[in-house]
Chain A
């Protein structure tokens, strides 16, 4: 990779060698390796059916790499930086292939000292897995209800924001394990001046590119999408409704002079007065911080309910 090709500029958020502790290096390597292995399986299956897929993803990967090192103008800051590129890749070649491509691209970026050898796992996880899958999910969810440029743009925006939030979390987990939530917020805030305007630039960039491709080569993106079924729509509507009720309740309470201390005291006196203060739930919350602990509970509860609801519906 000659310097003429990769004249990267601006603050990049790839984690360099020497920052992460060895156990976190190993952790992110293992997690990324699992997804890369799944991605390779998807690619190999696809190649067996459609052999032209191999040169196609390689060439599109090469273009996405070239694009991701191009400077795009960043609004507000007046500077320019390079886009994440993985949401765009995920829309064109699929999220699993995008993860493999991003792993290779990150390996190439090591040649220009962007990122590092020991941090490829962590960078693949934030940029490749979280950025590609996050962006792709947003794109698929919005595609049926909004114009193509908007859904692609939102994929770029959310993918970019998720990437830097994940990078901030990785830094907080490794550098300040005793106070993860505080430092996650701090690193995220530190990235905002450069990364948030960049996310908006990525919105415009991804939206325009996908719009251009859809006009010139529609079969590359595929116009038909999987629309949301009734169950998904109901779940999303309920999610928005309940979140709105909670937010509105909190705001009304705030206007009424409440200290926004949450419902801890109510739960402790009314719902679980005999709860063990040293129980696993309390320890988990203390270890990960409350939002991460509640997110964990939400994920487990949602997966469990969704799985058994489907099973029950299938039986009946």
Chain B
């Protein structure tokens, strides 16, 4: 123990000083935050979409599975911490089905070095490549799922104009989002009414059941057609006209958001560099 003190003290002094100064600063920041009632500021949804997009792009250029796996685990922890793990797992299943399908096809067909598993033979190159694709899909889907769960959809749609999406698409989007719920509700009511009249009985064959579903769908389409006339009249009465130019009413980005976005972008580029280094 004593020999530690008799040798070069520089490293020990540096680590001690930095640790305790950081400790004091950390305590001070925490107290200041609790005093001011600071609850944390939400990151601007535009920055979140941008960062998620470039992170997903970065994942697709990665040549090793390490970073995608770390990101997937990190996303799982975030989902657990936010209390959305169940929703996260439900949503992540669908992309993983396709990823597993690709892993199976690559493992069974791609490569030259055969690994005999007893009941089946697979190719090592195919397994390696398929695993890389699987890890990429897992990580990308995790990031996407976290984005859509934590960002309200009206914010996502609102930021579309900022990204330069044409006005017609935004108009169609806003009308569609409003009426998807309405028609979904109406469709369910119609289906329930049909069910109560034994329209979906298990005893009925494929043709009859399909006929019943199609009748409901056809009815929904004709209702949508009729309702569109009413909406048009309502839009006209609110001074809407074709080719109406909407004001660019989105807020400018906050300086801190820009900084945060830049740091994230450089961090993501750094991850690509790290992946090449691995």
Contacts and interface: CB of A to CB of B under 8 A. Distances in A.
A89 B167 CA distance: 22
Contact of A16 (B141, B153, B213, B243): B141
Question: Residue among A19, A186, A204 with the most chain B CB within 10 A?
Answer: A19
A52 B184 CA distance: 22
Contact of A72 (B91, B172, B213): B213
B94 A12 contact: yes
A70 B187 contact: yes
B206 A208 contact: no
A118 B56 contact: yes
A201 B210 contact: yes
Give the secondary structure class of B's interface: helix
B98 A16 contact: yes
Contact of B180 (A66, A186, A209): A66
A5 B178 CA distance: 13
Given A17-B56, A204-B207, A52 B224 contact: no
B148 A61 contact: no
Interface in A60-84: 60-67, 70, 72-73, 75
Contact of A58 (B141, B143, B179, B223): B179
Contacts of A51: 232, 236, 241-242
B140 A63 contact: no
Contacts of A13: 98
A157 B184 CA distance: 25
Interface stretch (B15-23, B74-82, B104-112): B104-112
A92 B220 CA distance: 13
Interface string B29-60: 00000000000000000000000110011011
Contact of B221 (A92, A105, A183): A92
27 contacts: A3-B87, A16-B95, A18-B68, A19-B136, A22-B61, A25-B57, A40-B168, A48-B242, A54-B168, A54-B242, A56-B228, A57-B172, A60-B228, A62-B179, A63-B224, A65-B180, A73-B209, A104-B169, A108-B176, A110-B144, A113-B95, A116-B56, A183-B105, A183-B109, A209-B214, A209-B221, A220-B225
Top 7 closest pairs, chain A to chain B, by CB: A208-B214, A212-B218, A17-B140, A18-B136, A58-B175, A16-B95, A18-B140
